[in-house]
Structure 1
Amino acid sequence: MRNSMTFLEAKKALRKVAGRPALPMRLLGSGTLETVSLFCRARFAAEDINLAVETLPFGTLHQHLTTAADGISEVALVLPWDLCGATDWRSGAGYGIAAIEDLLSAAERTATALAERCRGVVVYIDAPAFPVFRNTHEQKRLTSSLRAIAEDRGACILPASFFSMSAYLSSGEPIAGAHLAETADAIYELCRMAGERGGKKVLVTDLDNCLWRGIVGEDGPDNVSADAEDSSFRYFIYQSFLKRLEADGIILAIASRNDADLARQPLSRGNMVLGIDDFAAIEAGYGTKSDALRRISSDLNLGLDSFVFVDDNPIELAEVENELPEVVTVAFPPHDRGLPVLFDRLNNLFHRDSLTEEDHLRSEFYRNRKVFVEQANRSTSVEGFLRGLDMKLEIFSKTPETWSRAIQLINKTNQFNLNGLRWSEEDVRDVLDRGGHLFTAKLSDNTGDHGEIISFLIDNENIVRAFVMSCRVFQRRVENAFLLALSDILPTEFSLAFEATERNTPLSMFIDDPAFAIGESITLCNLDRFRAEHPEDLSFFKIELSDAGI
């Protein structure tokens, strides 16, 4: 959208989406927001979205925050006085102003409520605040602190020039006419990024003029570069960014139109930030990129909806978008100035609220899985292969001090997942306080340490509420050994709150077993029958019960 779009042009832009199903959105703020809502509708119309915007009556923002959410997506457009009413020009500070610490504490509560209500989609106009304190240092601290409070909660900060004092005093409209389109742009970008935030696990990158400068098939492996100098600098920065992603548990892979041996050579020389061992999968050949991504997905046993694909070629990106719409495609920029935008988007796609020890080791886990698959393909006997792995399964009973990875695993696992339900710490705490248990398991073998790979939550009524296992340890019969190892702790018969989802076929296959009786609302398991059906599976593992609540 052009920043100079006029009111009439905005109205005209809405015609292209007239009659289409409306997407409801509520714009929160204490000012009059009808005009900016029109520009928001025009901005979304440019993306073929018919946005239906609802605004609040003037001055009712705080009252609205006390009401229950009704399912409509909400976006906040706030000013300093929305966080601290004493700074509002229309009302003035009055008398008996509270201490600055009290004002800031109240502002933090409001900002937190807005961020939670709007899923982080908050725009903060850094408008001048009415002078509250005669002490100019305290006044400066107040205004800068209000901005920092908003920014700390993920708000997009727009400069003071976006605010119109005359419009606000005369009509309650806070946004300057010259910046209405830019404000709508900011709101659209925040909404788009919120929809993409987090959840991605795999970054697949192209090579030529993307991971390095040059074309390896034409320039040769010795003449491509990613050095911290001249025209190679941005490739060095890109590789450095990917290295940081890998350290935080993001899986890296390659999809390239090159001969396989030729594609690997520059990464094997040891003079780049990234090397061969940093990539869990490398697909090089002359087929389509979408086919390469499918093979990587199969090799890693991860869904394509967890993939992000980066390429400098718009034709390759379009092919993947058309064939694999579940994959997020990102263009590698042709100029250095595009790097901040690229990294902002990738950072958003791979957002994590917090990182666990398991996250930092995830790339190593998937490299170990690759070794496992290669060994399995060479084996002639499944049982002999499993015995040769020297597998060790450690089982733990978790407490609030040690459960962070267990809850993360429940909320991130989709395939081997009992019902797809997500659990908060408060929900898990309630189950444990009522006499339930949260068991987990760690696996290691001669291919390496696989970390914490199972979470199992059972309540005081012997109903399993959550049972998940990481897809990277499939085909080892770990799930069978886990239940058998707990047979002295679990009752002989217990129930599972199973519910089929679009993604949990592996769990469905697990309970498609004579030891399970699948009902409409509950699934029963008989451990004696399960042991009879799987008499050897426990023998493949060395079992250690570490504080398992026996």
Structure 2
Amino acid sequence: MKFLQAKKILRESKASNSLACEVLTSAQVENLSPFLEAHLALKNIRAQAAFTPFGTLRQRLLVDEKNDTALIACLYPWDYCPALDWRQYQTGTSVTLPELVEQVLAFDRLLGEKAHAGVFIDAPVPPVLNANETQVLSNLIASCAVKRGFKYLSEQSFSLAAYLEFGRPISNAMAPYVASVLSEALFKNNVIATPKKVILTDLDNTAWLGVVGEDGVAGVACAAYGPGFAHYIYQCFLKRCVGSGVLLVAVSKNDIDLAKAPFEQKELPLKLTDFVDFKVGYGHKSQLIQQVSEELNLPLDSFVFIDDNPIELAEVASVLPAVTSVQFPAEVDELPAVIETLQLYVNLTQGSKEDSERTELYKIRALAEQERKQTPSLHEYLASLEMELHINTQAHVDNARAIQLINKTNQFNLNGLRITEAELSKILTGGGSLFTATLVDKFGNHGEILACVVDAEGKLLRWVMSCRVLQRNVEYYFLYWLLSESGISLKVIEFVKTDRNAPLEQFLITTGLVPADSGQQVNSTLDCEGIRKALYKATKGIFKAVRVN
């Protein structure tokens, strides 16, 4: 990132989250400020960065301030041991290794809980001890910093010339890199990342090295050797994300045949089948991303966008601030920090069968959406899908997918409450019930798309449904079945309005389950007969079959 690029990003940013932060340091590092704030702006964070005044770090650490400012450190060997400061180096001063070790440990104790994130720059130090003792001391300092959780940076990030002349230990050339590392540490320790469902990736100089439209397929590089090795690692990471249930979309300024050609003609980790869609064209990428959101029926804040070009990132951040943007690194050494950031957004643990098949499930949904656009009425379209709803009344036997669905679904979610296996077990052993449902249509099997928990008193505690099947009227039929045929005497629903569950709230209002001006929380007592009639009317003739087991 260049200085003018950072300024442009900040000028055009519409970041919706704010973060006040202070960089704890003993030196002049204000040249980090525009880059630090720009990197955070690309993460949808409007940062206000302050810096400890020059030479006052120890005094600052003695101040016990209770406020909302996030603290992050940028430390050097002489912060731990002042005798190692080049600007304070004097001849004739006699010090011993034990004395300096005690200084190091004392400063480490002073840090305490003030800062547990940041960077430690392992700058060279003046010869206050013999070579062996200096190495022992340097190793101790670095060890203390790393144990505190600071990111270790080599002496390449240090400029002795700038430090001696200006008190500024980080050269302007290295400032963008150090700022990017600090931004990652700030983000990781102070921002709770919303789990992302979609990764949007650029292709040229991101998925591979080179520009396929100029270099040709043979000229782009992505292999486990040579100049494209970093891009190969990136593709391997994306492959793991797809296997964990994250949807992958290519967003590229390209022609469709060129965008797909490397995946068709080269041996790459990613295959065409790993992508749920390719969005290519020569307009603004924000427009392509908006199309993805509409077609997948997923909110923009569940997207993370990766591109090597800071101008493209700034354009998307400006138009679609809810999208999280991450810059693919220009330097290979920065790749681990980028992947570490991406891991904050995605869960790479072993997923369910539905997770591993999610890309195919959304492709099935896309086929249905294409047919919907060609059908005169919604009712005709739904009837033409030949839908079968399979309701499982024995879901307690294998409830892993139900728990996952409850804990990941946001839009069609009764109250936003999550559930643990122990909590669910307690409800079931107390006489409650767990129901799930699978949807099949003429295009294929959509997998397990619904989970519902009712306690022994007839209170609807949890109800979620995958956004893949919204606008299919599945919710209408399932509730009709629950009220009419399940054998459950449903009496009360525990609805809580969240900032994400507008689709479920609208359904409840439409069916009369809650009033339009219900507010944040409603425990509705059900008029089952009236509701049953409305639900039956909404689903009559739509489902080819309903199977219960």
Return the TM-score normalized by structure 2: 0.65
Q: What one-letter code is carried by the residue in structure 2 that aligns with 1:496?
A: I
Q: Secondary structure at the match of 1:466?
A: strand
Equivalent positions of 1:362-401 (< 5 A) are 362-397=358-393
Deviations 1:241-285 (A, max 9, x none): 211211111110011112334333333446433233221122111
For structure 1, the 5+ residue unaligned runs are 1-20, 26-35, 59-69, 78-88, 91-117, 126-146, 162-177
Per-residue Cα deviation, 1:415-458 (whole angstroms, up to 9, x for no partner): 11112223333433343343222221122222222222112122
Q: Aligned partner of 1:528: which letter?
A: E
Pick aligned residue for 2:282 from 286, 309, 324: 286
Gap runs ≥5 in structure 2: 1-17, 38-47, 74-100, 103-112, 121-142, 155-168, 170-177
The aligned runs of 1:507-526 (5 Å cut-off) are 507-518=504-515, 521-526=522-527
> Is 1:489 the counterpart of 2:518 in the alignment?
no
Q: In structure 2, what is the Cα distance between the partners aligned to 1:495 and 1:315? A: 52
Q: 1:324 to 1:513 in 2, by over 3 A?
A: closer
Using a 3 Å threshold, how does the CA distance of structure 1 residues 23 and 269 change in structure 2: closer, same or farther?
A: closer
Bigger drift between 208-217 and 244-253 goes to 208-217
Q: Quick one: distance in 1 between partners of 2:472 and 2:265?
A: 35
Deviation at 1:38, TM superposition (A): 7.1
2:498 to 497, 501, 512: 501
Give 1:49-88 correspondences, 5 Å limit: 49=49
1:543 corresponding residue in structure 2: 546
Letter in 1 for 2:509: D
- Between the aligned residues of both structures, percent identity stands at 35
Deviation of 1:322 after TM superposition, in Å, equals 1.9
Q: What code does the residue aligned with 2:262 have?
A: P
Corresponding letter in the other structure for 1:457: V
Partner AA of 2:331 in structure 1:
H
Contact 2:20 2:69 in 1 (8 A): no
Structure 1 residues 122-163: Cα deviation after superposition (integer angstroms, max 9, x where no partner):
89x9xxxxxxxxxxxxxxxxxxxxx9xx99xxx94889x9xx
One-letter identity of the residue aligned with 2:491: F
1:223 Cα deviation (Å)? 4.3
The Cα shift of 1:513 comes to 2.8
Match of 2:41 in 1: none
Structure 1 residue 528: Cα displacement: 3.2
Inter-partner Cα distance in structure 2 for 1:469 and 1:327: 23
**Is 1:257 aligned to residue 253 of structure 2?**
yes
Shift of 1:525: 3.6
**How far 1:316 moved relative to its partner?**
0.5
Report the equivalent of 1:201. 197
Residues 313-358 of structure 1 deviation map (CA, whole Å, 9 limit, x = unaligned) = 1110111122222222111122333322222222222135652222
Structure 1 residue matching 2:496: 3-state secondary structure: coil
Structural RMSD (CA): 4.4
1:296 shift after superposition: 0.8
Residues 387, 257 of structure 1: CA spacing in aligned structure 2 closer, same or farther, 3 A cutoff? same
Q: Is the Cα–Cα contact under 8 Å of residues 117 and 186 in structure 2 kept in the other structure?
A: no
Q: For 1:484, what is the secondary structure of its paired residue?
A: helix
Does the aligned pair in 1 maintain the 2:432–2:453 contact within 8 Å?
A: yes
Q: Contact (CA 8 Å) 1:484, 1:538: kept in 2 or not?
A: no
Give 1:407 shift: 2.1
- Choose which of 414, 417, 420 in structure 2 pairs with 1:418: 414
- 1:241 and 2:237 equivalent? yes
Deviation above 6 Å: which 4+ runs of structure 1?
21-25, 36-40, 42-46, 50-53, 70-77, 183-188
The 2-side partners of 1:238 and 1:22 are apart by 29
Q: Structure 1 pair 422/357, CA: closer, same or farther in 2 (3 Å)? A: same
Pick aligned residue for 1:274 from 242, 250, 270: 270
Note if contact 1:197-1:350 (Cα within 8 Å) is conserved in structure 2.
Answer: no
How much does 1:303 deviate?
Answer: 1.1
Q: CA deviation at 1:221?
A: 4.8
CA contact (8 A) 1:202 1:251 kept: yes
